[in-house]
Amino acid sequence: MSIALRKPLPRLLAVLVLFAAMLVTSVVTATEARADGCYSWSRTLSEGASGEDVRQLQIRVAGYPAYGGHIIPDGAFGPATKAAVQRFQAAYGLGQDGIAGSATFSKIYALQDDDCTPIHFTYAELDDGCGGSGWDGGPLSAAQTKANALQTMWQLEAMRHALGDRALNVTSGFRSIPCNNSVGGASNSQHLYGRAADLVGSHSLCTLAQRARYHGFGGIIGPGAAGHNDHTHLDIRTSNYWSAPNCGI
């Protein structure tokens, strides 16, 4: 009897150990898949660092410059990048040391999809504004255009969060040259470069225009500007052209 009782116990233990191992494996895989599907940082980044990992960080915090400022993703971690990281950390309740370590990267991983877009925006929303798809047909390469759209979305994500995490709806993003012509867009429209988004949303158009000044949008055109009484246009040009006369801008 004693042998018969003893035998099932190791088997039960083995099953339990196996089950625990499977649980751990699945959790680890899920975490890595989320980060790996897009981009993973492998070192802590602070002022003075440089490289592609810094540039990837700068794209994610491009929506956190000072009022009227701009973050240029150049791969060099300078004072402006440090301040942007601090503002990002403040926005999400993290310690504001301006150093991108595990806490900051974990928040970024939580905020991004596997294609590197922020969770509340998609490439599909930003691509061809005439209902087509893809990133070709503009003055830049498709890859450059798509990269511009990605940064635009990260800046929109920052603004969305600052405005209480309520929806921002993009009605027009990238436009190919024929598309831009067909909608009467300016010949030098930022939409051609993937750098622009026309917004409507759960906020007033003036709230969108006013708030955009804090999130790196160099182009802000809204109510009171010709053709902009039914949306607020934002773009990520790096010199400021702001015009929304009905909003005091």
- Positions annotated as catalytic residues are 228
Collapsing DSSP states into helix, strand and coil, what is residue 196?
A: strand
Q: How far apart are CA 69 and CA 63, in angstroms?
A: 10
Which position among 53, 127, 128, 198 is part of the footprint of Zn ion (CB under 5 A)? 198
Q: How far apart are CA 180 and CA 131, in angstroms?
A: 12
* Closest separation in Å from C-beta 116 to Zn ion: 23
Q: Which residues contact 32 (CB under 8 A, 6 or more apart)?
A: 40
193: DSSP letter: G
Which position among 70, 161, 211, 233 is part of the footprint of Zn ion (CB under 5 A)? 233
- Give the number of other Cβ atoms within 10 Å of residue 41's Cβ: 19
Q: What is the largest CA-CA distance in the chain?
A: 92
Residue 54 or residue 234: which is nearer to Zn ion going by CB? 234
Contacting range for Zn ion; rule: CB under 5 A; set: 4-12, 123-131, 205-213, 228-236: 228-236
Residue 150 or residue 196: which is nearer to Zn ion going by CB? 196
Contacting range for Zn ion; rule: CB under 5 A; set: 15-23, 35-43, 148-156, 191-199: 191-199
**Is residue 128 involved in binding Zn ion (CB under 5 A)?**
no
* Closest separation in Å from C-beta 195 to Zn ion: 10
Chain residues that interact with Zn ion, rule: CB under 5 A: 198, 233
